């Protein structure tokens, strides 16, 4: 099964043409290390999941949002590298969850992003990770995920 087939099997499509506005870019590469910009749960031009966990959305919403962020990271990597087969290892994910202090499970949200990486790359998809709740995110997004990949 190809990486994309494994993701399709869980109902997840890797987006094409993920871009970045302004003076930043979706990814940079140096010495075999790919830095991927923080991704929010956009589908096309729309931010599909907006809101703060513990205030106006649920853990389930945030997990769905995190999954889209992860798929976008894969989209960026595929566009940059030509093929996801060039990814040797997911080195690190940083998961920012838009939440107030009542929500103490950013790890559970992050698990949804982590699962996508392992589904895509199997053992090479396991990674170091940080998960935190922040005060707000771009466009009110529910989750933002950045990544460092070995290629």
Q: By CB under 8 A, tell whether 78 contacts a copy of itself.
A: no
- CA 48 to chain centroid, in Å, comes to 14
Spatial distance between the Cα atoms of 149 and 151, rounded to a whole number of angstroms: 6
Segment interacting with a copy of itself, rule: CB under 8 A, options 7-15, 61-69, 140-148: 140-148
Q: By CB under 8 A, tell whether 79 contacts a copy of itself.
A: no
- Close Cβ partners of 91 (under 8 Å, ≥ 6 residues apart): 33, 127, 128, 147, 148, 149, 150
Which residues between 93 and 122 bind a copy of itself (CB under 8 A)? 93-94, 96, 99-107, 110-111, 114-115, 117-118
**Of how many residues is the chain composed?**
151
Q: Which residues bind a copy of itself (CB under 8 A)?
A: 20-28, 30-33, 35-38, 52, 55, 88-94, 96, 99-107, 110-111, 114-115, 117-118, 125-140, 144, 146, 148, 150
């Amino acid at each position: 099964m190809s990486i994309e087939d494994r993701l399709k099997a869980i109902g997840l499509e890797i987006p094409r043409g993920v871009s970045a506005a302004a003076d930043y870019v979706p990814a940079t590469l140096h010495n075999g290390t790919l830095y991927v910009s923080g991704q929010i749960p956009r589908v096309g031009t729309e931010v599909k999941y907006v809101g703060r966990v513990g205030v106006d959305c649920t853990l389930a919403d945030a997990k769905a949002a995190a999954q889209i962020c992860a798929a976008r990271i894969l989209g960026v990597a595929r566009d940059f590298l030509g093929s996801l087969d060039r990814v040797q290892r997911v080195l690190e994910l940083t998961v920012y969850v838009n939440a107030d202090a009542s929500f103490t499970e950013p790890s559970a949200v992050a698990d949804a992003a982590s699962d996508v990486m392992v589904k895509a790359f199997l053992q090479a998809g396991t990674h170091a990770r940080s998960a935190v709740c922040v005060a707000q995110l771009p466009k009110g997004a529910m989750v933002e995920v950045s990544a460092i990949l070995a290629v």
